[in-house]
Amino acid sequence: MISTWFIPLIILLILVTATIKHVPVYEKFVEGGKEGISMAISLLPFLVGMMVAIAIFRSSGAMEAMLTWVSPLAERLGFPEEVLPLAVVRPISGTAALSVTTELIKTFGPDSLIGRMASTMQGSTDTTLYILTVYFGAVGIKRMGNALKVGLLADLVGIVASIVVVLFLFA
C-alpha cells in the first residue's frame, strides 16, 4: 500500500523543491524529456535483434531441449532439477522466467521448498541480457567489454545463493 505513494511523492518533492528554487519547471521537463525520443530510437535495432534471436531459440524448442540435456549434469552436482529451467532462462528472457516461476509456484505450491526457491531466484536476479541490450543500446554502445561475462557470472552466484539460502532458512 505504501508503494502506491512512492511515485506521486517523488514527483511532489521534485516539483516543490524546483519551484522554490525558481527553476522553470515545465520548460526544463520538456527539454529533458526530448532526450527520451532519441534514446528510444537508438534502442530499436538492439532490441529487435536481440528479441528476435531469443524468440527463434525459444519457439524452435531448442531451449527446452537444452534443459533436458543439462538436467542430468545439474542433478549430479546436487542442483534441484525442478528449478533448473528457471535458472537457465532467468538471465535470457524476463517473460519466460516469469512464466516458469508462476508454473513452479502453481505446481509445487508457494510454500513448498521448490516454490520458495523459485520465488527467491526470481526476486534476487534480473534479466541480464535484456538490461545489457537496453542500457547499451539506448546510448549506442556496441562493444560491451566484460559486461556480459560479469553479469552472467553474478547471475550464477545469485542462483546458487538462492538455493542455499532457502535450504538454510526453510529446510
Partner 1 sequence: MINVIWAMLAVIGIVYAGINGTMAEVNRAIFQTIDDSVMITLSLMGVLIFWLGLMKVAEEAGLLRALAKAFRPIVTRLFPDIPRDDPAMGYILSNMTANMLGLGNAATPMGIKAMKEMKRLSGSDEASRSMITFLALNTSSLTLIPTTVIAIRMKFDSAAPTEIISSTLIATAISTMAAILIDRYFYYQRRKKERHI
Among 89, 100, 114, 115, binds partner 1 (CB under 8 A): 115
Position 5 contacts partner 1 (CB under 8 A): no
The three-class DSSP label of residue 126 is: coil
Position 146 contacts partner 1 (CB under 8 A): yes
User: How many C-beta atoms lie closer than 10 Å to residue 25's C-beta?
Assistant: 15
Q: Residue 112 contacts by C-beta under 8 Å, 6 or more apart in sequence? A: none
d(CA 128, CA 90): 8
Quote the Cα angle for 152-154-156, to 5°.
70
- Contact mark string toward partner 1, 32..71, x via CB under 8 A: xxxxxx-xx--xx--xxxxxxxxxxxxxxxx--x------
- Minimum Å gap between C-beta 77 and partner 1 is 18
- Minimum Å gap between C-beta 78 and partner 1 is 18
Position 79 contacts partner 1 (CB under 8 A): no
Position 89 contacts partner 1 (CB under 8 A): no
Position 13 contacts partner 1 (CB under 8 A): yes
